[in-house]
A and B are shown apart, each in its own frame.
Chain A
Amino acid sequence: MTSTPSKRSRASKNGHVKQGDSGSLRRWNLRLYVAGQTPRSITAFQNLKNICEEYLKGQYHIEVVDLMENPTLARGDQILAVPTLVRKLPQPIRKIIGDLSDTERVLVGLDIQPR
């Protein structure tokens, strides 16, 4: 837990964390909206990373948006609940709310696994 904040803060400052091989065929563009560094935000980020590493290794791109710092960004993706994960690519846009602790549903939500 103590090591994560430094990682997270880097993520939020840069606006995104680049992971994996950029030359992949399938590109997963994911954006995670959080509100401050709450335990729930951290859990969500870790859950997301774990899932991505396991299922989308080398094909994903995660952007973390902290609404505490940029409240205006909530408007664009119509964010109400936090944490919200938005799949920007591939289209269509999908939204997954919650701390992403239910891996099964995250996979369904991201269309990685068929419903």
Chain B
Amino acid sequence: MTKTNRRNRSNNVAGLQKERTGIPGFDEITGGGVPAGRPSLVCGSAGAGKTLFAMEFLVRGSLLYDEPGVFVSFEETGEELATNVASLGFDVKQLIADKKLILEYVFIERSEIEETGEYDLEGLFLRLGYAIDQIGAKRVVLDTLEALFSALPNEAIIRAELRRLFRWLKEKGVTAVITCERGEGTLTRYGLEEYVADCVILLDNRVQNQISTRRMRIIKYRGTSHGTNEYPFIIDENGFNVLPITSLGLNHKAPTERISTGVERLDRMLGGEGFYRASSILVSGTAGTGKSTIAAHFVDAACRRGERALFFAFEESQDQIIRNMRSIGIDLEKYVKPGFLQFKNARPSNFGLEVHLALIHKTIAEYEPSIVVVDPVTNFLAVGDQIDTKSMLTRLIDFLKTHQITAMFTSLTGSTTEVEDSEVGVSSLMDTWLLVKNIESNGERNRGLYILKARGIGHSNQVREFMLTEHGIELIDAYVGTDGVLMGSARSAQAAREKAAMLDREQMRQHKQRELQRKQALYEAQLVALRGQYETQRDAILREIEEDQRRESVAATQRVEMARLRHADMKVEVEGNGARKSRKGTAER
């Protein structure tokens, strides 16, 4: 019987229709909700949240999807149920009045009952059928069906009737959620999972380190892929909240937009424009180095741009943060009222890691901030070990990136550990890592700020001295000399020395300038004198040349005259080559 049932069911599974539960997160991990028109089993131990899950399935179904529902309760009266869920903001009575919900309380007291011969559970079928038809219900909850086993003595009849019930529910085409107590080593105490084979959901509430965490797991979901991990969930004032936060993958967008750090000098260290939007920033440092202050600046800058910021503080109260930041000239309070800034303050030990993550998710989803500050992440180590914390932060970072939220995490490093060792081990997940460090020298302690890494940003590799002033953070160039980095008074002394040296250099420069001018004047005077000399000598030489020429021509004339007197018969070239003439003349002489 069971086997044929199962086969039939799995044949029908092709093209499985799903029905949204409306429970935040649940529809995401199941890819659309519970199988439509089929019964699903929700099992868990006492207090795991089965009844609430079932009730929310109905309430949200009728509110969100206009699908009326019937709640068959074997344990609590309608009045009790309504009161229980009223604290979660569900007005069950109103839904009942609007004919969108029927609470059917089925009570059987074994001591009142005597069994004589054969019977069946047609009475239950009729009641349920009547209720379904009355409001046209699409959803049915049976909570907790196993009460039948303790109420009626004949288990064989119950089993046969349950099998008939599930078949009947399917024929009715209603989507049913059946809750079951978890048994020892089995999913359900009476093996009901055998009958409901399509979808089995396990709710669990585990206590670790005295902190309880609720988790949900889809054990089985025929004909569909589903997340197989355990998903933490929380039950708070808004009811059930499942958080599909295991792996979100690495396919988030990386915007090129840059946003200011809130500290002008720090922006300049980061290529002049600050962080990338949707990146994650780690600010690590020892106690009292000003990590929170950097975060406050970042928040301040965001609020000033008109963006919304969310501040998760795990160490200080909202008032304390506001007071402390006011002392350095940052007024965060003015952003709180218009809704630009929201604080979420909690001690890490209040909840387990997963619940923290869940709450962070929830708050972010509700508030939709564009920047988030977590101060400090290291406090999570008080709740979980390093592996758990890292896993949780990885998921948080993934989540934030997917939502294009810029996140700043502060991390407290112990004074004994290596400064660059971010204790949580998340530095590799971060895009930008600022390190604030106390540098002790010459009997004083000064703060230094480094950028250890900044993915995709050309950044300064210099150490800056980091000062908290009345108007916020100031970054000052630190001096790097043979004695290392100079800060504080040493830097001032160095600055004074530098100033003196600069004055010296200035004087020297002026002196040289004057000397140059002097030299120029000197050279120019010499130049004039030399020119005078030259001109005098040139004139003398020219005069000599002229004298020579005159003498030459006179001599030539005399030679001609002499030749004429001697009656020489040589042909005389009066004109022509003077040189030859003169040579000949000389030779004749």
Task: For B104, list chain A residues within 8 Å (CB).
Answer: 75
Are A105 and B123 also in contact (CB < 8 A) when A78-B106, A81-B152 are?
no
Please tell me if B65 contacts chain A, counting CB pairs below 8 Å: no
Given contacts A81-B121, A82-B119, contact A105 B126 (CB under 8 A): no
Tell me if B's interface is mostly helix, strand, loop or mixed. Answer: mixed
When distances are taken between beta carbons in the complex, the residues of chain A under 8 Å from B122 are 35-36, 67, 81-82
Complex-state Cα separation, A79 to B122, whole angstroms: 9
* Interface of chain A residues 43 through 87 with chain B (CB within 8 A): 44, 47, 67-68, 71-72, 74-75, 78-84
Asked whether B123 lies within 8 Å of A93 as measured between CB atoms, the reply is no
B112→A106 contact, CB < 8 A: no
Contact call B117/A99, Cβ cutoff below 8 A: yes
Within the complex, what minimum Cβ distance (angstroms) separates A72 from chain B? 7
Q: For A27, list chain B residues within 8 Å (CB).
A: none
Q: Which of B241-263 contact A (CB under 8 A)?
A: none
Q: Which of B106, B107, B113, B129 contacts A97 (CB 8 A)?
A: B113
Residue in chain B with minimal CB distance to A111 = B114
List, in ascending order, chain B residues with CB within 8 A of A44's CB. Answer: 117
* 10 closest cross-chain pairs (CB), A and B: A109-B114, A71-B130, A98-B117, A101-B117, A35-B122, A99-B117, A79-B123, A98-B116, A102-B116, A105-B116
Q: Count the A-B residue pairs with Cβ separation under 8 angstroms: how many? A: 94
- B236 in contact (CB, < 8 A): no
- Count class of interface residues, chain B: 20 to 34
Q: Which of B114, B117, B129 contacts A95 (CB 8 A)?
A: B114
Residue B108 contacts which of A47, A68, A80 (CB distance < 8 angstroms)?
A80
Assess whether B184 is interfacial by the CB under 8 Å rule: no
Question: How close is B104's CB to chain A, nearest CB, in angstroms?
Answer: 8
In whole angstroms, what is the CA distance A47 to B117 when docked?
11
Tell me the smallest distance from the CB of A24 to a CB of chain B, in Å.
Answer: 24
Whole-angstrom distance between the alpha carbons of A105 and B116 in the complex? 6
In the complex, chain B residues whose CB is within 8 Å of the CB of A98: 115-119
The answer on a CB contact under 8 Å between B126 and A74 is: yes
Within 65-108 of B, Cβ neighbours of A (below 8 Å) are at: 104, 106-108
| Nearest B residue (CB) for A40 | B118
Flag whether B120 is at the interface (Cβ < 8 A): yes
Inter-chain contact A94/B126, CB cutoff 8 Å? no
Q: Is B130's CB under 8 angstroms from A96's CB?
A: no
Q: Across the interface, do B115 and A75 meet the contact criterion of CB distance under 8 Å?
A: no
Q: How large is the interface on A (under 10, 10 to 19, 20 to 34, 35 or more residues)?
A: 20 to 34
User: Chain B, 123-141, contact with A by CB distance < 8 Å: what is the 0/1 string?
Assistant: 1101101100000000000
Does A28 lie at the interface of the complex (its beta carbon under 8 Å from any beta carbon of B)? Answer: no
What residues on A are CB-neighbors of B152 within 8 Å? 80-81, 97
- For the complex, give the distance between the alpha carbons of A71 and B120 in Å: 16
Assuming A82-B121, A96-B115, what are 8 further A-B pairs, CB within 8 angstroms? A47-B117, A74-B130, A80-B151, A81-B152, A97-B115, A97-B116, A98-B116, A98-B118
State which of B113, B120, B127 has its C-beta within 8 Å of the C-beta of A74: B127
- A96 close to B127 (CB less than 8 A): no
The answer, yes or no, to whether A32 is at the interface (CB within 8 Å) is no
Q: Does A100 contact B (CB under 8 A)?
A: yes
CA distance A95 to B111 in the complex (A): 9
Which residues between 8 and 36 of chain A lie within 8 Å of chain B, taking CB atoms? 33, 35-36
| Min distance, Cβ A19 to any Cβ of chain B, angstroms | 21
Across the interface, do B118 and A99 meet the contact criterion of CB distance under 8 Å? yes
Q: Is A68 a contact of B126 with CB atoms below 8 Å?
A: yes
Give the residues in chain A near B148, CB-CB below 8 Å. Answer: 80
Give CA–CA (A40, B118) in the complex, Å.
Answer: 8
Q: Which residues of A contact B120 (CB under 8 A)?
A: 40, 81-82
**Chain A positions within 8 Å of B123 at CB level:** 33, 35, 67, 74, 79-82, 84
